[in-house]
Amino acid sequence: MKNPNVLFMLSDQHNAKILSLEGHPNAKTPCLDKLASEGVYFRNAITQNPICTPSRVSWISGQYCHNHGYYGLSGPNPGGLPTIFGHFRKAGYRTAAFGKIHCPEYWVEDDTDEFSEVYDGLSAAGCKDYDKYLAERNLAQEEDSVELREFPNSLGLQSCDGRASNLRFEDTAEGYCARRGIDFIKSCKEQDAPFFLHISLPRPHQCYTPSEPFWSMYDEKDLVLPPNAEYDMEAAKKAPNLVSASKFWKTGSWTRFEPGTYAAGRLRKLHGYLGCVSQVDFAVGQLVGLIESLGLGDDTIVIYGSDHGDYACEHGIMEKAPGICSDAITRVPMIWKWGDKFARRKAKEIVESVDMVSTVCSLCGLPELETGDGQDLSPLLYGESGEIKRCGVTEFARSKSLRKGDYRYVCYARDYFPEEFPGGFGELYNIKDDPWEMKNLYFEQDCADIVADMKEELIQFLLRTARPVTVHGIEAAKTSQAKFRFSHYINADNKINLNKAKIYTTNYL
Are residues 411 and 335 located together in one domain of the fold? Answer: no
Nearest to 61 by CA among 91, 81, 36, 89: 81
Are residues 453 and 491 located together in one domain of the fold? Answer: no
Confidence at residue 57, expressed as pLDDT on a 0 to 100 scale: 98
Question: Whats the size of the chain, residue-wise?
Answer: 509
Peptide bond into 213 cis (omega under 30): yes
Confidence at residue 159, expressed as pLDDT on a 0 to 100 scale: 83
Taking the alpha carbons of 208, 209, 213, 218 in that order, is the dihedral positive or negative? positive
In a domain, 313, yes or no: no
Are residues 72 and 185 located together in one domain of the fold? Answer: yes
Are residues 476 and 377 located together in one domain of the fold? Answer: no
How many domains does one find in the chain? 3
In a domain, 254, yes or no: no
Instruction: For the sheet with 331-337, list strands across it.
Output: 114-117, 94-99, 195-204, 5-12, 300-306, 331-337, 40-46, 345-352
Confidence at residue 340, expressed as pLDDT on a 0 to 100 scale: 96
For residue 499, give its domain range. Answer: 467-509
Nearest to 43 by CA among 403, 376, 358, 354: 403
Confidence at residue 504, expressed as pLDDT on a 0 to 100 scale: 67
In a domain, 155, yes or no: yes
Confidence at residue 64, expressed as pLDDT on a 0 to 100 scale: 98
In a domain, 182, yes or no: yes
Q: Assess contact for 201 and 100: CB atoms under 8 A.
A: yes
CA distance 352 to 313: 25
Are residues 423 and 336 located together in one domain of the fold? Answer: no
Task: Kindly list the averaged pLDDT for each block of 10 residues, start to end, along the chain of length 509.
Answer: 91 98 98 98 98 97 97 92 98 97 95 95 88 96 91 70 97 98 98 98 97 98 98 97 96 94 97 98 98 97 98 96 95 98 97 98 96 97 96 97 98 94 96 98 98 98 91 77 78 81 67
Are residues 215 and 96 located together in one domain of the fold? Answer: yes
Nearest to 297 by CA among 287, 311, 283, 308: 287
In a domain, 30, yes or no: yes
Are residues 81 and 196 located together in one domain of the fold? Answer: yes
Are residues 329 and 452 located together in one domain of the fold? Answer: no
Are residues 443 and 505 located together in one domain of the fold? Answer: no
Q: Is residue 136 within a helix (H) or strand (E), and if so which, with residue range?
A: helix 128-136
Q: At what angle do helices 262-293 and 30-37 cross, to 10 degrees?
A: 50
CATH number at residue 83: 3.40.720.10
Are residues 412 and 279 located together in one domain of the fold? Answer: no
In a domain, 420, yes or no: yes
CA distance 44 to 301: 20
